[in-house]
Structure 1
Amino acid sequence: MNVTATHIPDVLIFEPKVFGDTRGFFMESFNGKQFGAAVGMSVNFVQDNHSRSSRGVLRGLHYQIQQPQGKLVRVVRGAVFDVAVDIRRSSSTFGQWVGVELSEENHRQLWVPPGFAHGFLVLSETADFLYKTTDYYAPAHERSIVWDDLDIGIMWPDIGMPPALSAKDAAGSTMAAAEVFS
């Protein structure tokens, strides 16, 4: 597994070795020992999630203010532009973001540590998005930062249409007003 650092040192891109031939392919999508060594700590994933979304759907920017979740995310069908935003006030990268295209073709995975808001925009006709989390979903503690917050300045890809948002995401907080981590 190749591990690539991003400009935010805690956010990592994982690229598994893919072995393919005329029959298809094989890859090891997760290895706890290698993952722990790459992120510098033991990580216990407790929940796996799967979402399917249509082109133009934008989910996020989500986080849990209590029971914060680390997420290892990947796409098994289609393509998304995936974003992690550092919302740890004490961090030197507070308010900065990383964006990576994840697709069924590139097999990339993104590690989004606890203390980050996370979201993605679907680039393909549909996308199946899988992710492991380090803590359980806690709806009472879920928060959302608006996807187009000017203080963050995420440069989302232009897909020729406005994003489709849930009511919760459309009503997200600005970064300036958001409850963030210390």
Structure 2
Amino acid sequence: MPKGEAMPKITPWLWFDMNAEDAVRFYTNVFPNSRIGEITYYQAGAPVPEGTVMSVEFFLDGQVFYGLNGGPQFPFTEAVSFRIDCTSQVEVDYYWNALTADGGEESQCGWLRDKYGLSWQVVPQQLDELFASSDPTAAQRVVDSMMTMRKLDVETLEAAARGVKSSTRADGA
């Protein structure tokens, strides 16, 4: 980037199978400080009926996104995900439960797919701290413990770092 020029703004555009408006309403209800912005509509001559929602601008805690009703050609894959940095187990539980509700799917190691197929990583802030331990054996125990989980469990991860068994379930439930 040339010196003195401002960093370009990067805005995620998410391709939905004609359910962008429903997805955006879902996301803005899950995440605090969120709202729906401008909605655009397909005009006459488009490959869908005139007046069908084309795109929806939305903001999740100040970050702008767009949802595009593009059709079934390009479904979401785990190759792209959004990470939610959580400050507590309560936040992990909230986002995990909200995003897996009504047809979402649990995956491994804090990953999930919501009912629209979008992948999310629900991560407690303690995980990065535990990974960065100056004790490589403790960090490896954290990795090994995380690999047994679906939803991440802070107590279990911290116990693994200390080298003790936690009383919580290994699957993070």
Q: How high is the TM-score relative to the length of structure 2?
A: 0.27
Higher strand share: 1
Structure with larger Rg: 2
Higher helix share: 2
Q: How high is the TM-score relative to the length of structure 1?
A: 0.26
